[in-house]
Structure formats: C-alpha cells, structure tokens
Amino acid sequence: MSAFPTSTTVFDSVLFRDAFGTREMREVFSDLRLISRYAEVEVALAKAEARCGVIPAEAAEEIAKRTDVAALDFDLLRQETDNVGYPILPLVHQMAKQCGEAGRYVHWGATTQDIMDTAVVLQLRDGLKIIEDDLAALRGILADLAKRHRNTPMAGRTHLQQALPVTFGYKVAIWLAMFDRHAERLAELKPRVLVGQFAGAAGTLASLGDNGFEVQQALCEELGLGVPVSTWHVARDGFAETVNFLALVTGSLGKIAFDIMIMASTEFGEVYEPFVKGRGASSTMPQKRNPISAELMLAASKAVRQHAGLMLDAMVQDFERATGPWHAEWMAIPESFVLSAGALHQAKFALGGLIVDEKRMAVNLDISRGLIVAEAVMMGLAPAIGRQEAHDVVYDACRVANDKGLTLAEALAADARVADRIDRATIDRLTVPKNYLGLAPQMVDRVLASVKR
C-alpha cells in the first residue's frame, strides 16, 4: 500500500475530512463498525432463535462466544463481496468457520437484506444520537445569542434591501425556532425508523414456520429495536424520512450560513465568525477574513439535499426485492450523516463564538437616513388622511429625500401635507429606526419560552 494519502473523497481525505465531517460520525459509518453491526445482528439472531427453541441454546452460545470481527480476513471478505455483490454471505462463510460445529446455525432462516437493513438501523440509532446531541448544543448556543441580543436593533432586509428595523435577537430567534422544530421532528421519527428487519427471502418468514413472529420479536428485543408491523424490504420510507430530515437540518444551517456570509461582507460588516489566526486567510490578500464555517455549512446543505432526492428516488422499488434502488442508499445514508455532523460542528463553532458588531448594525440602520421607517410615518399619517393618501405622501417624500440627499424627516417637514398635520417633534420621533421595532423583542421571548430549555 502506498505511504501517500490515496483517498478520493472529502469524507476520508486527510485534507478535508474534518471540514466535511467529524471523527465520531465517521466511526459510526466506518467499514469496521458496519461489519461489526452485521456480526452483531447475526449473533442476536442466533440468541433470539435459541430463546424460541429454533436452534440449540449451546449453538447460540458458541456463536456469541466465538464470533470475532477483528479476526476476519477483510481482504477475502472484500473479494467475495465483489463477486457475490453483497457482504453477508461472505461474512457468514467466515463466521461459520470461526464457530465450528455451531456455525451451521449462523444466519438461520434469514436473508441478506434482513441483516444489512437491521445493521443500518443500528447505525442510524448511533448517528441520530450524535445529531440529537449536536442539535441540543446548537439550540443552547442560539438561545443564549437570541437572549443577549433581544434588543439589539439592526436593519431587517427583504429582497436584499433594507425593509424595516428588527433586532438581531429576533433574527436569531427565527433560527432557533427552526431547530426547536427539528428536535421535535427527530423525536417523532425515531419510533418509526428504529425498527428491526427480519422477514426472510420474500418477507413472509416462511423459513421459520409458526415461529416467525416470535423470532422476529425476540431479535428486535435483543437489539433494543422496535418490532415491525410489516415487512419493509421494499418499503423504504423510514430511511428516506431520515435522510430528508437531515436535509431539513442542513437546509436550516444553509440559511443561517447564507445570512452570516452576507452580513460578514465588507459592505455590511455586522457579524464575523470567531477569530482564529490564519482561519479564512487568502494566499494573496492579507486583509481577507473569509467565513469558512458558513461556506462549509452551505456546501453541506446542497450535498445532503441531493441525497434526499436520491433517497426519494430509491423508494421506487420493484415487487418484493429491489433490483438496484436499494444500492443507492448505501451511498446516500452514510454521506448524509457525515455531512450533517460536519455542518453542525461548523455551526457550533461559528455561532458559539460569533462576533456581533452592534455599532456597525446601528450605522447600517441609519444609512437610509430614516427611509427604513417610512411605514411608521405612513401609519402615523393614516388616521388623519387615510392609508392610501398617506402612502402616496410618504412615497413622494422618500423620492425627494433620495434625490436631494435629505433625511426622511427633513423631506417630510418640507411637505405641507405632512407639516400641517404632524409637528416636527413627532416627525423626528417617527423617523428614528429603533423606535419602530414592532414586537421583535417580544417574539424573542416567545421563542425562548416555547419549549423547556
């Protein structure tokens, strides 16, 4: 084997693996862990069948005692898998050899997909626990950030133009509410997804006669999984739901990343990722401080979205055993989990130490010379002259302010239609942006109080 790095993907690259994933999640979906899960399911099946009187108890004990994943010939396993097309028969060959006389009871009554699907469910359980913990940590970070900046005024923007004043805490609370919902979704999907698979060749449990349901339940109990109400060899909604859930999570991370990247641009300068010497540096422009974590979050969201579509496509399977779509899951599931963990890791770093420039937010809020609160003036005039005429009057004042470089207050005071109805002190008060935050601070309170924190 070459002493030089030979990986061809970002997931295992010595350069990029920690940018697009985490060590903990890579281990969950590593070859060794997956093969160990296959063996774990086979051993659990033997134990379950012994409990149900299907195979001798002594055989199950021997299978459990003598199965040794570390002692497997992985090169032979690879070669036979390449030939067979699936890894379970090659694994059973070696397990049977390890277990001696008891080896003839390995994989009793099972089919390849029973073992592979159930092993993946065990991976999902581990992977979702990591995601759950990351979501909890990120929600804590966002809650603290929203509370701290509950009253920090800034320009709210629609269509990338200043619209109305908001607070930064309000913006963060919207982010937080998304992840509160993701935590709720995760809690709801786990009982649907963390279900074992054991049904035999065509899903009818025919090989076990009248013991089929009993063995199925015993196997799921051995593994701590839910018992399926029906065979799901070709009903892949659970796996598709899981990856689409990850797409929702990373989609929300992508939205946050997009906001951060724009707000960190030179012309905005309102937030920055935590300062680490050299991070985000340019090879030619020493002044640069690029939003690296946000860029990685956005890239991950795009990749997981593609896998979500692939998983939906893979749901369209033929009859009682798929001829191809199943294999697409082998790519989409591990990569989606690794990417999601990587994006959450980047989010915890970026948001956990986010630098918020309140002074720059205030400067940007005043950059329109009061035009950002034109609605406030319109609503102030409306009781006297009607909403539509008030809109037209303020619209004209905005044009004058823009053309002549005036503040909105100056343009309004120069218009007799306004000056005759509202005194200058009221005009000045109405055109101060921080006086027109609506219920933004109170919305922060509502989000913070909406769930137990």
Query: pLDDT of 399-439, one tens digit each?
Result: 988 888 888 888 888 888 887 888 888 888 888 888 889 99
Q: Give burial (CB, 10 Å; 0-12/13-18/19+) of 203.
A: buried
Helices (H) and strands (E) in the chain, counts: 18, 4
Looking at the chain, the domain(s) classified CATH 1.10.40.30 span 371-431
Neighbours of 195 (CB within 10 A): 18
Q: Which residues of the chain are in CATH 1.10.275.10 domains?
A: 18-110+200-225
Percentage of the chain beyond pLDDT 70 is 96
The predicted pLDDT at position 278 comes to 59
The CATH class of 18-110+200-225 is mainly alpha
Q: Answer yes or no: are the C-beta atoms of 431 and 376 closer than 8 Å.
A: yes
CATH of span 371-431: 1.10.40.30
User: What is the arithmetic mean of pLDDT over 341-365?
Assistant: 95
Instruction: Summarize pLDDT for 143-182 with one digit per residue, the tens.
Output: 999 999 999 999 999 998 888 999 999 999 999 999 999 9
Catalytic annotation on 282?
yes
Is the per-residue pLDDT at 357 higher than 60? Answer: yes
Between CA 302 and CA 307 the distance in angstroms is 9
Q: Could you say which of 2, 159, 230, 283 is catalytic?
A: 159
So what's the pLDDT on residue 165?
Answer: 92
Per-residue pLDDT tens digits for 280-320: 545 555 455 788 899 999 999 999 999 999 999 999 988 88
pLDDT greater than 90 at residue 393: no
Contacts of 335 (CB under 8 A, 6+ apart): 11, 303, 307
Catalytic residue among 7, 265, 282, 450: 282
Q: What is the pTM of this model?
A: 0.91
pLDDT interval class at 91 (50, 70, 90): very high
- The CATH number given to 116-197+232-364 is 1.20.200.10
- Residues 139 and 158: beta-carbon distance below 8 Å: no
- Which residue ranges does the chain devote to CATH 1.20.200.10? 116-197+232-364
